[in-house]
Amino acid sequence: MTTWKVSHIDAKKTLRAFLKEKLGEGYSVRKIKWNIDHHLVSVNGKVERHSTVKLVAGDVVDFNTKNITDNTIEKKRILYEDDAILAYDKPPRMTTMGKGLLEILRRKYRDLEPVHRLDRDTSGVVLFAKDKKYLEAMTQQFRDNIVEKVYWAVVDGVIKDESGIIENRLAKIGENHGRAVWGKVAHGKEAVTRWRCIKTGRGASVVECRPKTGRTHQIRVHLNGIGHPVLGDVHYGKRFRCRYRPSRVMLHAKKISFKHPMIGDKINITAPIPDDMKEAIRYTNCGMVQKGVTE
Q: Tell me the catalytic residues.
A: 119
**Which amino acid, 117?**
R
How long a stretch of residues is the chain? 295
Give SS3 for 126. strand
CB atoms within 10 A of CB 143: 10
CA 202, 254, 229, 292 torsion: positive or negative? negative
DSSP state of 27: S
| Of residues 209, 222, 153, the one with CA closest to residue 182 | 222
**Which amino acid, 198?**
I
Sheet order of strands, 41-43 included: 2-5, 60-63, 41-43, 46-47
| Of residues 116, 89, 109, 73, the one with CA closest to residue 258 | 116
CB atoms within 10 A of CB 95: 16
CA 73, 79, 81, 84 torsion: positive or negative? negative
Cα–Cα dist 216/67, whole Å: 25
DSSP state of 10: T
